[in-house]
Amino acid sequence: GAQPPCQTGSSPEKITAATATSLGATDGADAVAKASALGMKAGSPIYLDMEAYDITNKGCNDAVLAYVRSFTKTLRAKIYRAGYYGFSSSSAKAIATATNKTDLPGNLWYALWDKKDTTTTDWPWGATQFTNHSRGHQYLVNSKETRGGYTITVDRDTWDAPVAIVG
């Protein structure tokens, strides 16, 4: 998906205040089409990845939230679940601490690289938020692991949230 207007990364698609809602709907519809083509059935979650950005920048944060709401509404209208991946210090925090929760994703996958394989003891927000099997936690990145004589670099996550429905 698109990335925040105030993000310093080199994403080819940036959200703007003027395009946030239409872009969220377009990207949501595209995500559903691609998930369906991969065999993910209705009811599956689709996780929107939002990289880190300055959530204290009101204009930027408002554009991101408008985009996320539109993306989520589009997924729900097509009977898919909305999930969201972001950093506990910024993009995930924007979702978890938003005062208006209307049309925000129901599943939150947060990056907090604390090496704790849990979705509860290090949860950085209110204990009643994203409960009922709605959390994922990326707790380690760039971990070198060897399997069958091959070494690969992976990110480690612990999961208590929906995954794709296939078959």
Q: What is the tens place of the pLDDT at every residue in 93-104?
A: 999 999 999 999
119 in helix, strand or coil?
A: coil
Please give the helix or strand (H or E) that residue 43 lies within, else none: none
Is residue 7 very low, low, confident or very high in pLDDT (cuts 50, 70, 90)? Answer: confident
Tell me, what's the pLDDT at 27? Answer: 97
Q: Which residues contact 2 (CB under 8 A, 6 or more apart)?
A: 11, 13, 14, 15, 23, 24, 27, 67
Q: At 146, which amino acid appears?
A: T
Q: How far is the C-alpha of 138 from the C-alpha of 34, rounded, in Å? A: 24
Q: Let me know: does 55 contact 5? Beta carbons within 8 Å.
A: no
The percent of residues above 90 in pLDDT, for the chain, comes to 94
CATH code at 20-160: 3.20.20.80
Is residue 140 very low, low, confident or very high in pLDDT (cuts 50, 70, 90)? Answer: very high
